[in-house]
Amino acid sequence: MRVAIIGTGYVGLTTGVCLAFLGHSVSCLDTDASKIEALKAGKIPIYEPNLAELLAEAAPNMRFTSSYGEAIPDAEVVFIAVGTPPTPSGAPNLEYLSQAARSIGQCVNRDFTVVVNKSTVPIGSGNWVGSLLRDSYNNRPDRNGAEFAVASNPEFLREGTALHDSLYPDRIVIGADAQRALEVLYSLYRPILDQTFTAPTYLPRPDSVGAVPMLSTDLASAELIKYAANAFLALKISFINEIGLLAERVGANISEVARGIGLDSRIGPRFLSAGIGWGGSCFGKDTAALIATAGEYGLQMPIVESAKRINARQRDRVVEKLLQELKILKGRTIGLLGLAFKPNTDDLREAPAIEIAQKLIDRGVRVKVHDPIAVDRFLKEHGDMQVQICDNAADVSEDCDALVLVTEWNEYRDLDWESIGKRMRSPFILDGRHALDRDKLTRAGLRYATLS
């Protein structure tokens, strides 16, 4: 099928590459011409494992353009995957979404086009996009009876495993009021639903993956599913962090507690890793948006609000723990291992490392940082931050009064801890992710602590 994707961020690019890999003909559109030039030259603007390989394989089915006039008229399906960044009130900024909807309306030309919202948008946005499209189309002197329908197809991929999550999803959710739109999207996703494609060697199909369920709903339900899923995952993390605080006081081991409750299949083991808490572009923004939407209906969301408060508290606990250990922070040197909001990405949006570094700088600490992937992005986005960037973890440790493991990159697990401890002024490590081996580090001569 012929597909257009508006927006070449994480979601748009991943979706485009996967659909092209499945054999569809895909035009990726971004109004940022420099991004399109880079993509045409085979350069990928984000770090995502295997994206370069899959893009190279899918390239014959892909076009990159900044022109709506090129991408839209032939497309049977148009995905909107533009950014919806948070505004200070918590409600997302829908400027890009409305521009995309109007521009699509200017160019649709087929007898039937399905316009799909893949961006995470407030409940009700499907209807709104529909009205923007209609207005824009109806204002055209050259309109020719083209028809279109709006659908919502929320995205559940995680950064760092985006391709795996797209090719082998737990479910596909489609919200649409028009049956015809559902049928078009069913055909588009059929290779994934039936898992009939040949898996790339570097992204093998897990044995557990069978047919993928597709859930078709009305527009509002699909939109709410996305927010409810992210809020639930976020509160699972905050729940384990809340229990972690008590575990610490009573002398219980939070990792064992998490394992013990996660083995109950009604609870499940995932998203119960205690530590610094969640970051990234989604959980913070989506929980804020959910609260903002509820507010518009005169409702409160006390559970989601608490989850946010607990998450913020985890950052403060890093500073408290360091204070407890070092007594005075002013004039100390503290090293942060990891900048990205989680491993296998260079994304720094709402990254705990940035918040923690700032809190430490505000208290007069000299901060040293390392990240295997995210340093370039850090320099671009936070170049004015007063931190010392180091090439490797060993250099970070030099003269440090404490190290904090912020992002659990794999390479941090097997460092030469003995020599790191020797290079530190005081060999104290705060493992913010329960990622390191306490016994190994203690044997190597470090004082090891966790947040709970």
Determine if 431 is a binding residue for ligand UGA (CB under 6 A).
Answer: no
Dist. CA 288–CA 89, nearest whole Å = 8
Q: x/- contact string, 126-155, with ligand UGA (CB under 6 A)?
A: -----------------------------x
Contact at 8 Å (CB) between 212 and 193?
yes
Determine if 282 is a binding residue for ligand UGA (CB under 6 A).
Answer: yes
The token duo for 296 is 């518009």
Determine if 283 is a binding residue for ligand UGA (CB under 6 A).
Answer: yes
- Pick from 76, 271, 301, 326 the residue near ligand UGA by CB under 6 A: 271
The token duo for 191 is 């290779």
Dist. CA 294–CA 307, nearest whole Å = 16
Name which of 173, 169, 172, 174 is nearest 209 in CA terms. 169
Dist. CA 111–CA 164, nearest whole Å = 34
Nearer to ligand UGA, 312 or 328 (CB): 312
Determine if 447 is a binding residue for ligand UGA (CB under 6 A).
Answer: no
Determine if 313 is a binding residue for ligand UGA (CB under 6 A).
Answer: no
- Pick from 8, 117, 273, 333 the residue near ligand UGA by CB under 6 A: 273
The helix (H) or strand (E) run that includes residue 215 is strand 214-217
- Pick from 156, 295, 359, 389 the residue near ligand UGA by CB under 6 A: 156
Q: Is the dihedral of CA 256, 258, 263, 264 positive or negative?
A: positive
SS3 33: helix
Determine if 341 is a binding residue for ligand UGA (CB under 6 A).
Answer: yes
Determine if 277 is a binding residue for ligand UGA (CB under 6 A).
Answer: yes
* 18 in catalytic set: no
Dist. CA 448–CA 442, nearest whole Å = 6
Nearer to ligand UGA, 155 or 401 (CB): 155
Query: Which of the stretches 90-98, 277-285, 370-378, 416-424 binds ligand UGA when contact is defined by CB under 6 A?
Result: 277-285
Nearer to ligand UGA, 81 or 360 (CB): 81
Nearer to ligand UGA, 10 or 137 (CB): 10
Spatial strand order of the sheet with 428-431 comes to: 387-389, 366-370, 333-337, 402-405, 428-431, 447-450
Dist. CA 296–CA 157, nearest whole Å = 28
Catalytic residue among 18, 28, 107, 282: 282
Query: Which of the stretches 34-42, 52-60, 270-278, 396-404 binds ligand UGA when contact is defined by CB under 6 A?
Result: 270-278
Concatenating the DSSP letter of every residue in 176-211 gives ES-HHHHHHHHHHHHHHHTT-SPPPTTSPPPTT--S
- Pick from 63, 342, 370, 434 the residue near ligand UGA by CB under 6 A: 342
Dist. CA 410–CA 375, nearest whole Å = 17
CB of 284 to ligand UGA, least distance (A): 9
Dist. CA 404–CA 450, nearest whole Å = 9
Nearer to ligand UGA, 270 or 330 (CB): 270
Name which of 29, 88, 147, 34 is nearest 284 in CA terms. 88
- Pick from 80, 182, 222, 272 the residue near ligand UGA by CB under 6 A: 272
Residue 86 per-residue DSSP state: B
> How distant is the alpha carbon of residue 67 from its chain centre?
27
CB of 433 to ligand UGA, least distance (A): 7
Nearer to ligand UGA, 332 or 349 (CB): 349
Interface with ligand UGA (CB under 6 A), residue total 21
Nearer to ligand UGA, 341 or 412 (CB): 341
Nearer to ligand UGA, 90 or 427 (CB): 90
Nearer to ligand UGA, 68 or 341 (CB): 341
- Pick from 7, 12, 86, 275 the residue near ligand UGA by CB under 6 A: 275
Query: Which of the stretches 16-24, 94-102, 268-276, 444-452 binds ligand UGA when contact is defined by CB under 6 A?
Result: 268-276
CB of 344 to ligand UGA, least distance (A): 9
Determine if 374 is a binding residue for ligand UGA (CB under 6 A).
Answer: no
CA distances from 284 to 188, 206, 247, 297, 351 (A): 31, 30, 25, 21, 11
Concatenating the DSSP letter of every residue in 357-376 gives HHHHHHTT-EEEEE-SSTHH
SS3 63: strand
201-230 residues in contact with ligand UGA (CB under 6 A) are 230
Determine if 448 is a binding residue for ligand UGA (CB under 6 A).
Answer: no
| Residue whose structure tokens are 């999803």 | 169
Catalytic residues: 282
Residues engaged in binding ligand UGA (CB under 6 A) = 120, 155-159, 230, 233, 237, 271-273, 275, 277-280, 282-283, 341-342
